[in-house]
Structure 1
Amino acid sequence: MPEKQNELKKTLGFTVAFSTIIGIVVGSGIFFKPYAVFNATGGAPGLGMLAWLLAGLLSIAGALTASEIAGMIPKTGGMVTYLHDIFGKKVGFLAGWVESTLYQTGSTAAAAVVFGVQAASLLGFEPGAYWPKVLIAIGIIGFLAFLNNLGAKTSGWIQTVAVVCKLIPLITIVIVSFVKGTGNDVLTPLLGPDLNPAKAFSLALLAALFAFDGWMGVGMIAGEMKNPGRDLPRALILGMGTVSLIYIVMNVAYLWVMPASELMLTETPAADVSRVLFGERGGQFVSIGILVSVFGGVNGYVFTAARSTFTLAQSNRIPLSKTLQKVNKNGVPANATWYIFIVSSLFCLTGKYDLLTDLSTFMIWNFYVLTFYGVIKLRREQPDAYRPYKVPLYPFIPIIAMLGGSYVVISTIISQFPKAVVGFGIMLVGLPIYAYYENKEKKQTID
């Protein structure tokens, strides 16, 4: 097959990149993660709001830092490609392996599971019923996989429409909350009784970071952008600044209606706040808007995850590499998209939103920290290289991003050691697979 048949078409601009960031990041987290954040703080708002604020600052620092590499290395694959070019084939492979087997697929499944939870509730199923939410979750991933294979423009159109639609429940909840809400304290108390502050903050921060996560994924579509060196950094910075503002305002709005001690008890806080504000029928209408938002989030994950797997397959160091790197007549990696559907569906069978989000967020931040360090490494080794964008306040912003990310990793290992073991175990499985294909390639070269 000619090489050009496996190349992606350059059809995307700034608007799709920006809407992809908003579509992925403002997906499920802001509507469902307040439960996990305030549960971690024992129903106290202060430390929870601090976790939301710090998660936003870390994400902005990360976006500011990663944008420099995104401008220098505007290739499909995003972080996987960056780490491959900066640190070598093995590190790039491990990043791609974790993304394809755990992070992207786990995040896709997590978003689909909460879509299933919300949809099952609207359809009248018993709260927490296992099979309805799981079957709906698997069905929505399959439907979006089909739509994504129609072309990158179709995927981008879905993202743009979903971004517009998701603003409706966001704006509605914010405005009406401040008009009709009773005005609960949003800063005190700082922490619930008998809780370890360090562990509580670690758990709250990890939960909040998932709500902000996904911004790095837009780099995976760089190879399909018409002017990635200019548009990708702009989309990252403007997108994450917008998301941070939305999240802080949304959490204040929630707390204005329901105290943190009540938000910690419900897995569907946005829907519950809506019922308080609008009654049962009005709450259902807003819940439909939330479903549209989560739908866009799942689409964003499927869209970018397929590109990650496609890039990994091009290394020819995983099983079925030749199959997964094929591009269909619409110019999209169809087989990689169906791979994402299969693996994500398996993760959906857990039915556990917080388990999937905690595990995927923890593992990806290991590679985020390495990416942030990559900016410093490239500045030192390639000082005269062309940089269409440079991170401001260098080296302070990259150092802040690295320190914040290191805190997330280390505190998770301490406070949630079993999850860390599972995550690192999945990553280490990639080493013998890499070694097998590396040795196979060397033997073929010798022969």
Structure 2
Amino acid sequence: MSSIGGWFMIVMNAVFILASLTVLIMNHGQLVQPITGLQSFIISPNKSFQTPITIISFVVYAVFAYGGMETVGGVIDSMKHPEKDFPKGLIIGSLFTIISYVLMIFMTGFSVNYQKEILAANANTGNITYTVYGTLGKAFGTALHLDPNMSLLIGKFFTRAIALSGLMGMTGAFFVLLYSPIKSFIMGSDPRLWPKAATKLNKHGIPTNAMWAQTVFVCLLIAVVSFGGSAVTSFYQILTDMGNVAATAPYIFYRVSKKKHGLKDLD
């Protein structure tokens, strides 16, 4: 499922690029989000990230966006040639991710205006992708001089297509993310730190008791966030930020250690 979802996402990336280029060409090179100089590339239109402190704080999210591939390390034992395939996959995946991020963020301005579409739609980190693709679809239809209703229909189609791609990709990734971190965490640490029940493996080599404990905790957290009101929602945002920081910190420690001891010593 994750492989199919990955291919769907690649197709949707290609659709985004082609549709954005079409909009740009049909609009005679006029960007919907205008570039007013160098400041357009270094100053965010989001007022929450315009001061030096907030820009520095956003680095955590930037690093986190490119991280996450280390999670695959929990299933490296299922690869046929991990010593060759795993590094190659990381390099290819990293390059593809970086190029996609930079290119598509820039091309978003071909069809989406931050003030008119993003702010007006009250878009957030949860629905921003759907807002962008929906706006792109409408702009694509308008650029081709289609009927307004047809343009709106294309926008809805783009939205549903990217949602389906994300669903398929995340459904496959869900099973990996469900057990890979807890498996690496439990099996990668000293067994004496854990109760015997937590380190007990089933016939598939999975610490089922630890996974059940994780499942109960996550279900309780979801229930509290869903029914706890705005205060708990804010608390959940804090937990999300803490998770981003926790996932980003190891990269910083690695870079410091690498500089201090050298790559040869770490290997």
Normalised to the residue count of structure 2, the TM-score between the two structures is 0.68
User: Which SS does the other structure have where 2:242 is aligned?
Assistant: helix
Per the alignment, residue 111 of structure 2 pairs with: 257
Inter-partner Cα distance in structure 1 for 2:187 and 2:88: 24
Deviation (angstroms), 1:377:
5.6
Question: Which position in structure 2 is the counterpart of 1:304?
Answer: 180
1:323 aligns with 2:182: no
Say whether the 8 Å CA contact 1:314–1:325 is kept in structure 2: no
Q: Offset of 1:266 from its aligned partner?
A: 0.4
Instruction: Encode CA deviations 1:191-212: one digit per residue, 9 max, x unaligned.
Output: 4579753123124333333322
Superposed CA deviations along residues 292-319 of structure 1, whole A, max 9, x for unmatched, are 233344334224213223325652213x
Letter in 2 for 1:328: N
2:34 counterpart residue number: 185
Spell out the pairing of 1:319-398 with structure 2 (5 A cutoff): 321-348=195-222, 349-350=224-225, 352=233, 354-376=237-259, 379=262
Distance of 1:280 and 1:203 partners within structure 2: 34
Moved more, 268-277 or 184-193: 184-193
Structure 1 CA distance, aligned partners of 2:256 and 2:205?
Answer: 34
Deviation digits for residues 266-289 of structure 1 (CA, Å, limit 9, x no counterpart)? 021221122221233442233222
Assess if the C-alpha contact under 8 Å between 1:324 and 1:336 holds in 2.
Answer: yes
User: Which structure carries more relative contact order (alpha carbon 8 Å, separation 6+)?
Assistant: 1
Unaligned runs of 5+ in 2: 138-153, 227-232
Aligned-residue offset at 1:360: 0.8
Q: 1:235 aligns with which of 64, 67, 89?
A: 89
Which residue number corresponds to residue 272 of structure 1?
131
Q: Deviations over 1:227-252 (max 9, x none)?
A: 43333322222221111111112212
Indicate the SS of the match to 1:364: helix
Which residue identity is paired with 2:110? W
Query: For residue 230 of structure 2, what is the aligned residue in structure 1?
Result: none
Contact 2:2 2:170 in 1 (8 A): no
For residues 108-138 of structure 1, the C-alpha deviation after alignment (integer angstroms, 9 at most, x for no partner) is xxxxxxxxxxxxxxxxxxxxxxxxxxxxxxx
The aligned counterpart of 2:162 is 286
Local SS of the residue matching 1:256: coil
| Deviation per residue, 1:53-105 (Å, 9 max, x gap) | xxxxxxxxxxxxxxxxxxxxxxxxxxxxxxxxxxxxxxxxxxxxxxxxxxxxx
Match of 1:247 among 101, 120, 128: 101
Matches within 5 A, 1:37-116: none
Aligned to 1:46: none
In structure 1, the gaps of 5 or more residues are 1-157, 388-447
What do you get for the CA RMSD once the two structures are aligned?
Answer: 3.2
Does the aligned pair in 2 maintain the 1:177–1:256 contact within 8 Å? yes
Residue identity (%): 18
Which residue is 2:147 aligned to? none
Q: Whose Rg is larger?
A: 2
In structure 2, the partner of 1:220 is: 74
SS at match of 1:316: helix
With over 3 angstroms needed to count, the CA separation of the structure-2 counterparts of 1:279 and 1:306, relative to structure 1, is same
Q: CA deviation at 1:178?
A: 2.3
Aligned residues: 225
**TM-score, scaled to structure 1:** 0.44
Determine which of 162, 178, 182 is the counterpart of 2:5.
Answer: 162
Match of 1:200 in 2: 54
Q: Which moved more, 1:371-380 or 1:209-218?
A: 371-380
Matched letter for residue 274 of structure 1:
Y
Distance 1:286 1:219, change over 3 A: closer
Do the aligned residues in 2 keep the contact of 1:305 with 1:340 (CA within 8 Å)? no
What letter matches 1:185 in structure 2? P
